[in-house]
Amino acid sequence: MRTKHTFRLPPDLALKLADYASRKRVPQAHIVEAALASFLSPDASERLEGALGRRLDRLVRQVERLERNVTISNEALALFVRFWLTTTPSLPDGAHQAAQAKGRERYEGFVDALGRRLAKGRTLAEEIAQDIEPSEGTESAPPQEPV
């Protein structure tokens, strides 16, 4: 048994309802009933909350992975800098200009090599993962060509 309800709609909303009902060839009452059921359904909000929760969980895992990778990168850089500073002797006073020129040249080579490597889309982390986890049936991954 259905209960009759009478209510007033703003003119623009009434036009939209009439237009939608005529396009779908269904009574306006069915559209209003479906809209009310959807609006008042607790399932819709629970589904939305669940979807948002899953998305947030995925984002948290991605951020934690990024944090781990940044920490590893920072530690690797700090270790390299410490090693380089402890093993590289100071330059004599007359060699600074030549060393700076050679340093700029080597840095440009480094940036070019980095650009080529990034253009390939392959990362050092992927190569390390392959070296650590060799494919099944082989003892070690084949050596990769240096950049």
Instruction: Report yes or no on 119 lying in a domain.
Output: yes
Residue 27: what pLDDT? 94
Q: What is the pLDDT of residue 16?
A: 95
- The answer to the question of residue 89 being in a domain is no
* Structure tokens, 79: 């270790």
Domains contained in the chain, number = 2
Sign of CA dihedral 101, 103, 105, 111: negative
Task: Report the alpha-carbon distance of residue 75 to residue 66 in Å, rounded.
Answer: 14
- Looking at residue 136, its pLDDT comes to 52
Count of Cβ atoms closer than 10 Å to residue 2 Cβ: 6
133 CB burial (10 A radius; 0-12, 13-18, 19+): exposed
DSSP assigned state of 2: -
Residue at 102 is within a domain: yes
In a domain, 123, yes or no: yes
pLDDT of residue 68: 94
Range of the domain at 106: 97-135
109 is a domain residue: yes
User: Is residue 55, in this structure, part of any structural domain at all?
Assistant: no
List the pLDDT tens digit at each of the 147 positions of the chain.
Answer: 888 888 899 999 999 999 999 999 999 999 999 988 877 877 767 788 888 999 999 999 999 999 999 999 999 999 999 998 899 888 888 888 888 899 999 999 999 988 888 888 878 777 777 788 765 555 555 555 554
For residue 84, being part of any structural domain is answered with: no
145 in a structural domain: no
Which pLDDT does position 143 carry in this prediction?
52
